[in-house]
Chain A
């Protein structure tokens, strides 16, 4: 027993709750096989500690004590309420020697990984995966998640309840997938983590351009995954997030407007994040199978290496986009490649590629294809065409700062267009 004044116990428990509650919850979910029961059990365990520790002293392994007590309390709760939705006989009886003994620490780290895989199971609808991961793995409140994704808290709460019911009823296991299933399941996990990051880094709508709390959570999840399993694509995704995050401050003007990569003050980029991200990219690129996140991170790293925008190695970026289009074909990747080609070979070369893309009609509803086309036309002096494309982009954009950026461009063009002296 560690000696600590009984008066300090509430503070100690408070700090244990902040640093350990997610691990404790993950272990309890594994032991009890039920999210809600585990959460109730955990809160009961903290309440029990508040009573027992000032009297008996702080146990040597507080977390093990809390997990063991939480399980004991949950089974007790099941007995009392006769809520037999979880059959009692499937739960191991708690050891007789009392709650502080008999719980192995091994595999506890993996409990969090198990929880991530459960929350990101491909049989759950994607929006439920994100909500469940933020709620159960990151410990965000339902209200905070609802705010971030601009849905009513009641809608989000229902989504979470339904996902939990699906996990229970369909028998989605609380396990780390086996070697054969690993790649497919990891994809779902990485998708959720990146979705959380993107919502934080470039909010899909609303007035604020970024939500640092969400990108912070995504990076924390990426680090946790990497700590638990050093997979090359996990490395690639974490690197990508770190490199993008390094530019957060420079991406927004004091007035809250979007600053394009080429116009950013590169001295404001976070060097420590860039170094960490670049190291991870290099490690990931050395793996035999290079994935889509790693390639995107490599592109971000090339941008980070350039001391100023004009020094960017566009040839290398085009090469990486060509590879990316092969690994993960998508019209958005082709659009980005077209923009890079324009930077190396001039706006006309880029415009040809963008127009070919538009002719395939896959990206018609995507505002960035129109703003890219507008920008290329503007650089070619084809002002009228540029204005048409800017207006198309404005008709599709959802986010305040991006809208203001496009409106500013339109205003600039109109001024020069109507002014005969500027022609």
Chain B
């Protein structure tokens, strides 16, 4: 099964680390990710730039509006995404529990939704309407 894991970062905690500790944490995270790739559990992932770089596009009152955001009010920010190939939820929890990043903030694990049928139905609808 594919699981998408949202890694949150406790910015305040991160700021208390010395540059040396920060580097050690970063290296440990990447070393762990290499292990995930080697064992076939890595199904993709990206880090995110800070929330101040985010752009929000939303549909409001019949128009699309573009603003900056999100509005970071919590101390934990979404820091990156990781896609896992895991046997089941316990396996995914196990893989994330050992990720060094878990010490820097919580992870949210969600199974990927299977949209295959939805896509097929939609394709049918669209080809029929032509």
B94 touches A123 (CB 8 A): no
A170 touches B90 (CB 8 A): no
Report Cα–Cα, A169/B2, bound state, in Å.
11
Q: A170: which B residues are within 8 A, CB to CB?
A: 89, 110-111
- Return the contact of B89 from the options A171, A178, A180 (Cβ within 8 A): A171
A175 touches B111 (CB 8 A): no
Q: A178: which B residues are within 8 A, CB to CB?
A: 94
A181 touches B89 (CB 8 A): no
Q: How far, in Å, is B6 (CB) from chain A's closest CB?
A: 15
Q: B37: which A residues are within 8 A, CB to CB?
A: none
Interface residues of A in 130-169 (CB under 8 A from B): 169
Q: Does A126 contact B (CB under 8 A)?
A: no
Q: How far, in Å, is A226 (CB) from chain B's closest CB?
A: 23
Q: A59: which B residues are within 8 A, CB to CB?
A: none
Q: A180: which B residues are within 8 A, CB to CB?
A: 94
Report Cα–Cα, A178/B1, bound state, in Å.
19
User: How does the 8 Å CB contact mask read for A171-202 relative to B, with 1 for contact and 0 for none?
Assistant: 11101011011000000000000000000000
Q: How far, in Å, is A209 (CB) from chain B's closest CB?
A: 40
- Return the contact of A173 from the options B3, B88, B111 (Cβ within 8 A): B88
Q: A175: which B residues are within 8 A, CB to CB?
A: 88, 90
A172 touches B94 (CB 8 A): no
Report Cα–Cα, A175/B88, bound state, in Å.
10
Q: B86: which A residues are within 8 A, CB to CB?
A: 171
Interface residues of B (CB under 8 A from A): 1, 3, 86-94, 110-111
* 8 A-B pairs with least C-beta separation: A173-B88, A171-B88, A171-B89, A171-B1, A172-B89, A173-B90, A170-B111, A170-B89
In addition to A171-B111, A173-B90, 20 A-B residue pairs with Cβ atoms within 8 Å of each other are A121-B89, A123-B93, A169-B111, A170-B110, A170-B111, A171-B1, A171-B3, A171-B86, A171-B89, A171-B92, A172-B88, A172-B89, A173-B87, A173-B88, A173-B89, A173-B91, A175-B88, A178-B94, A180-B94, A181-B93
